Every structure is written in structure tokens, then in C-alpha cells.
Amino acid sequence: MKQKRKAALPRYGEYNCVLKYLVEQGFETQCILPPPLTRRTEELGARNSPDLVCTPFKTLLGSMIESLEAGADVIIMVLGACRLNYFGELQEQILRDMGYSFDFVNLSLYNTGKKRDILKILKVINPRCSLVKAGKALYDAIQMLQHLDDTTSLYYQNCGFDPSGTYPKIYRKFIADLYDAQSLTDIREAYRNASHAFADVTLRKPEDPIRIGIIGDYYTVMDPFSNLEIEQKLADMGVEVHRLMNLTNDMLRNNNNQNKQAVIRRFSEYSMGASSTSDIWQAQVYAERHFDGVIQVKSACCMPETDIMPVLANLSRDYKMPVLHLTYDSQTSDVGLMTRLEAFYDMVEMRKKVAR
């Protein structure tokens, strides 16, 4: 009897729980969860990557190596709107040159919307899986994705105003429940329990708290390790943190770039690729909602994020809203980040007091 495949996706925030559910419940294949990202992950990736490639490339490669070390024999590479779409071929070749034996599913190659290409993915992961079961699991996984993003947004908007420290415990329990979920009922129950628990917490939230919006490249802005947990750091300062950039918004809700481009036309007439249009649109949304500031989170060597910096400067000038630019690489230190965040917070707080 042929042994079951062991599939893995590189670490991407907490989104691995969604893939785990889809692979195990839909494809009937064991899902290997890579270890949480650490400095070792970064070092493994950086040591085996081209020097000038962007930081997410190195982090993803390091996580792939750790997945293979954990026993995975199928690596699934995500797709994206930037060079991320072209990472897969190079990463696969690097891993093979290192001596690893595995099957590689590069989702960028199957992103055509055609049924036959979706079937090709299934053939690599598990040729015997039921299409009906896979379709049902995909629906469930989309529900999980939405509940995950909605709960994460609620958490960072409020956790900084919880003196009891209950919010983080509820959130960690919610994430653990999603990883353990075996059905849509389990997913909905986890979401319902977390929502009720959050509602029962008494918050000490001022009437007009400092509100900061986070924008940035797809990977760095959504992965807490890669951005050194910037959202939690801001929340701990007493900030209501908002991040419109998540997979639910980007793929299911606010996914029409043509509409966004029309809204931001006075700042940028053409798209500069990747997340550039979404970033400018989100910054304008924050400005029109009278946020106190915006922080751009970008990885080193990310060209689209670098290109929009002058556009964000114009938007900052017109709306009189400060914008902080943060660039991350493997050398970015926690202490250096805190120094910049504290200075930005002090400036925003002073502006808010003067405006009153």
C-alpha cells in the first residue's frame, strides 16, 4: 500500500491553519506544519538565497527547508501579485541542489481558473482524493479564512485596551481551536466562542483613541514574525490598530484593483504592480476616516513598495496625515523598531492633543 503523502506550506502568519484543514479534510493527506519562524529560519534562507533577493524569498525558503527536515515530501508554494509568482522555480532548484527529494506544487503555474489545472494539483498531492470532498473542504476553508481575518482585526483593534490581559488568551485559544478543527461546525463554534468571550471583556478604551493604519507588501505586513509583531507592539502602546490588507479582503472583498485605481487616480494614474494600488487605496481610506497616522511595512528590495513612497508623501501632505516608512531585512532589530515606533507614537499623540 502506497504511503500517504506529507504536504507542507511555508509559514505565513496563522494562515497555515487554513491550508492544514484543506489538505487534511479535503485532500485526505497529512499536513506537516513547519516550525514557527525563528532566526534560524531566516539564517537558513539567507544562507542559500541570492544576496539581493527580497526578504520574503529568504524567509519562505528557510521555512521550506524546515518543512523538509520535519518530513514533508510535498512542498506547496503560494502565488502572489509580484515576484512571488516567480519565486517557486528558483526555490525548487535551490532545494534540489541542496539534495532534497520532494514534489513541488507551484500554485502560480495553476492559477488559470481552469478545472484541468486544479485537477493537476490534486494529482500531485493525492490522486485518489474525492473531488466532492475537496470542494466541500475548500468552502469550509474559505469560511475559516474569513473568521480568522475578522477575529484578528477585532483583536488588534481592542487588545491594547484590555487591562485584565484576557484578550491574548482568548485569541490564542481561538487559533488553537482552528488548528484542531475537523469540520465546519468546529470552525463556526471556535469563531462563536471567541466572539462571545471578546464581548464579555470590559475594555478601558478612550472615546477617541489613537488610530493607526498598517499597509505594506503582502507577506511582510501579514506575517507577525517578519514585521517583528508591529501590530502587537502598537497595541501595547494603547493604539487602535487597523490593517485592511489580509487575504479575505484582498481575495474576496476588496479585490477589484480597477475600482481602487479609479479612487486613487489623483495620486497615482497607473498601477506600479504588486500591492501598490491596494496600499495607496488603503492609505487614502485611512486618511478619509481621519486616522492619526499610517505605517508602511515593506521588505528590503521590494520595488513596488519603494515606488509608492513618493505617492504616500503626496497623500500625507494633502490629508495632513503622517506616514512612517519601515524597511525590514534579516538585520532589522527589535530595539531599533521600538525606538522608531515610540517616536512616531509621541509625534502622533502630540498632534492629536494640539488638534483638540
Instruction: Of 172-176, 257-261, 319-323, 349-353, give the lowest mean pLDDT range.
Output: 257-261
* Mean pLDDT computed over 110-129: 75
Alpha-carbon span 160 to 345, nearest angstrom = 14
* Mean pLDDT computed over 133-157: 96
Q: Which residues pair with 214 in a beta bridge?
A: 295
Judge whether residue 113 has pLDDT over 70.
no
What the block records as the C-alpha cell of 326 is 519601515
Q: What is the pLDDT of residues 283-340, one digit of tens each?
A: 999 999 999 999 999 998 888 898 899 999 999 999 999 999 999 988 889 999 999 9
Contacts 24+ apart (CB under 8 A), 106-115: 106/77, 107/76, 107/77, 107/78, 107/79, 108/77, 108/79, 108/80, 108/84, 111/79, 111/85
Residue 44 DSSP SS3: helix
Judge whether residue 95 has pLDDT over 90.
yes
Amino acid at position 156, single letter? Y
For the chain, domain boundaries: 6-129, 140-205, 206-356
Question: What topology does CATH give the domain 206-356?
Answer: Rossmann fold (3.40.50)
What the block records as the C-alpha cell of 294 is 499610517
* 3-class SS letters over 88-141: HHHHHHHHHHCCCCCEEEEHHHHCCCCHHHHHHHHHHHCCCCCHHHHHHHHHHH
CA distances from 202 to 66, 159, 193, 197, 211 (A): 41, 11, 16, 10, 20
* 3-class SS letters over 168-230: HHHHHHHHHHHHHCCCHHHHHHHHHHHHHHHHCCCCCCCCCCEEEEEEECHHHHHCCCCCCCH
The pLDDT, as a whole number, for residue 255 is 66
Query: Is 6-129's fold the same as 206-356's?
Result: yes
Options 1.10.3210, 3.30.70, 3.40.50, 1.20.120; CATH for 6-129 is 3.40.50
The pLDDT, as a whole number, for residue 1 is 42
pTM for the full model? Answer: 0.92
Task: Name the DSSP letter for residue 38.
Answer: -
* Mean pLDDT computed over 273-278: 82
Residue 191: which of 140, 243, 245 has the closest Cα?
Answer: 140
The pLDDT, as a whole number, for residue 239 is 97
Amino acid at position 59, single letter? T
Q: What is the pLDDT of residues 17-41, one digit of tens each?
A: 999 999 999 999 999 999 999 999 9
Residue 327 DSSP SS3: strand
